[in-house]
Amino acid sequence: MAERRGRLRRAAWAACLGLCGVALALLAVVLVRAYVPRPPPGPRLWGRRAALGFDLSARDRQELKEALRGAIKIQTVSFSPEDQNTTALAEFGNYIKKVFPAVFSTTFIQHEIIGGYSHLFTVQGSDPQLMPYMLLAHMDVVPASQEGWHVPPFSAKELDGFIYGRGTVDNKNSAIGILQALEFLLRRDYRPHRSFYIGIGHDEEVSGLKGAMKIAALLEARGVKLSFLLDEGSVILDGFLEGIKKPVAVIAITEKGAITANFSVEKEQGHSSAPPKETSIGILAAALSRLEQNPMPNLFGHGPEMMILEHLASEFRFPINLIMTNLWLFSPIISRIFEQKPSTNALIRTTTAITMFNAGIKSNVIPPSAKATVNFRIHPSQKVEEVLEIVKNTIADDRVKIHLQEAFDPLPISPWDNLGVQIFQRTLLDVFPNVSSVAPGICIGNTDSRHFTNLTDAIYRFNPLVFKPDDLPRVHGLNERISVEGYEKQVEFLYQLIQNSDINKLPEPHAKSQEL
């Protein structure tokens, strides 16, 4: 008996030692991954700096600021594809001709109006062997009423170093900023080596079918292929990520798909004094409640959302760096944390937003119908058909009819080791030296760039603006604004980007290259 107890005791000790060994080995792996440097590839630095420095006089700075303010005052509002302020769209076209005379008078720049109001500029470089690229922006804006704003939303008033107004960050800052950067370069007798296109759409906020889509179709018909395309999208994040002190630049390499669906229930009309067990409003409200109470599956790790954390892992402070460098172990924890905030929850699943509900004709009448509109933003690992199947199974009520207003799959994932990415990183290093890292990300909204997939597989979405957490709700929200200093930096970024794009071949990676 004693001998048996001894064997059991020895076996228990052996098991404990084995578990301790496994725990120590696991700890060692976690620590090694956290503290042995494995930075992602940085930009391949080339010797040539931008030949023309961004040296602005006081007059230049005033001109730069006033050009944007003038554009903000033009109310290029898109309410729907059939309801746009076409008078303002035409006015915007006349305005840019007046403000950027060098752009419109230079012989190697061709300007075309597409779809009535959109603009396409072809800037012919001196070396036709280099594959061109494209800079994309849009002039139209979402509606904005006076209520809740500090200043009138189309006043472009300057307050405490900020220009307030609808379109200051979405996206007249890019439309005017691109032309402003080119105007400054042309005045310095600059001609690019690499040709490029500038597209300024007039209906991005209502899907871009008459503007960007027609620009893309025209270029495709001409046989154009692009080395890369840069549109609006992600930004430089400052203070968004717990555990990272310095700003980080996130360049979106894909964007979510979308479904806009109309839900309806039809019932017999009647008097409210003798109501049925369920009305059309009750049936539809219950169905929509089931959609809200049963969110789409958490897909953390199934799309490119992991890449941003992997690229930024070494930037996090202890103890978060232990988690971020060991996602193979801690990803279930991270995925649950991401669910807690709307901004990060949108990265890990298809989101559901009930945006419109219409029903009822009189207080004492049983309504004959109830209608609602729901907007889904599709995670990169899912497709339209899969999401619709989940929606139907969740509602589980054949009385609720679903009609698709618009639907498209997520965009393909663009390569990260592309010429364009290297140029973006090089330019960020030139203009934003305090940015600690550059990482790939997901654009949770949709942009005009989705119409250009036949022209290039290298589509990137990045607005070179520094965003703090309180800036995000201003996009499509109240008190949209841009700092004067921030806008100058954006124009400088575009000014240097155009020059950096003249490189004909990237140098080979070098172990001693500065990492970004």
Known catalytic residues are 140, 204
Report yes or no: 208 and 448 within 8 Å, Cβ to Cβ: yes
Q: Which of 226, 172, 163, 233 is nearest to 202 (CA)?
A: 172
Length of the chain: 516
Radius of gyration from C-alpha coordinates of the chain: 27
**Phi-psi domain of 45 (left: phi exceeds 0; alpha: psi -120 through 50; beta: other):** beta
| The pair of three-digit structure tokens given for residue 375, joined into one six-digit string | 């907007």
Residues with Cβ within 8 Å of 253's Cβ and at least 6 positions away in sequence, in order, are: 304, 307, 413, 414, 415, 416, 440, 441, 442, 460
327 Cα distance to chain centroid: 24
Phi, psi of 292, deg, nearest 5 = -70, -40
- Residue 322: phi and psi, rounded to 5, are -65, -35
Q: Vertex 346, ends 342 and 350: CA angle to 5°? A: 130
Tally of helices (H runs) and strands (E runs) in the chain: 14, 19
Burial environment of residue 329 by CB neighbours within 10 A (0 to 12, 13 to 18, 19 or more)? middle
Dihedrals φ, ψ of 488, to 5°?
A: -60, -40
H, E, C per residue of 20-70: HHHHHHHHHHHHHHHHCCCCCCCCCCCCCCCCCCCCCCHHHHHHHHHHHHH
Q: Cβ neighbours of residue 412 under 8 Å, at least 6 residues apart?
A: 254, 453, 457, 459
Taking CA atoms, 231 is separated from 153, 206, 443, 448, 486, in Å, by 24, 16, 11, 8, 18
The set of residues, in sequence order, having a beta carbon less than 8 Å from that of 189 and lying 6+ positions away, is none
Task: Specify the DSSP element, H or E, that contains 371.
Answer: strand 369-378
Nearest to 469 by CA among 247, 254, 171: 247
Is the bond leading into 454 cis (omega within 30 degrees of zero)?
Answer: no
CA–CA separation, 249 vs 140, rounded Å? 26
Cβ neighbors of 201 (< 8 A, separation 6 or more) are 118, 136, 137, 138, 139, 140, 208, 211, 212, 215, 448
